[in-house]
Amino acid sequence: MPVKRFSHLAIRVSDVEASQRFYRDAFGFEERTQLTIKGGPTALLLGDPDIQLDAVFLERDGVVIELQKIHYPDGDTRAGFVRMGLCHFGLYVRDLDAVLAAVIDLGGDVVESSRMRNADYRSDLVFVSDPDGTFIELIDVPGDPSGPPGEPIGAGAPG
């Protein structure tokens, strides 16, 4: 099976700090890492090359949730992939091409504009959707993906 393990659930929120407090204080989630991305494949997937995504990754009992806030340059919020609530879940995979072929064969779609390769980490990721439109982030990265998101994977990876 080319799926290595579950990665994370992404939840789109209107206020990252308030949501982080909620998940921390109500349910005991602890912060793992934070991330800000502006432009690139993520922005194209979200429909605007100038958007910024702020995220915080929280963990509890091995479950990782990613709280995301989207910032459009005009301050607008848009429908579609930017809806609030559950946004996508992520899976670590090996042999991404084999998984993509299975997705297509089983009625899903590949969002090619979301594909991002990182030579430094030797990683490749892409979003797909299931037959009902639920987004899934597929992450193909060598080594053990058990480290916190945003941190190097495997010995000698760039920091």
Q: What is the pLDDT of residue 35?
A: 87
DSSP tag of 83: -
Max distance between CA atoms of the chain, in angstroms, equals 44
- For residue 87, the tally of other CB atoms under 10 A from its CB is 20
pLDDT at 69: 86
Domain segments of the chain as ranges: 3-140
DSSP reduced 3-state for 77? coil
pLDDT digit string (tens) for the chain, length 159 residues: 677 888 898 888 888 898 899 888 877 889 999 988 887 766 666 667 778 888 899 998 898 989 888 887 766 655 445 566 777 888 888 889 989 999 998 888 999 888 988 888 788 989 988 876 778 888 998 865 555 444 443 333 332
pTM for the structure as a whole: 0.63
C-alpha to C-alpha distance for 116 and 94, rounded to whole angstroms:
15
Give the strand pairing for 109-118 and 123-129: antiparallel
Architecture, CATH, for domain 3-140: Roll (3.10)
For residue 83, the model assigns a pLDDT of: 62
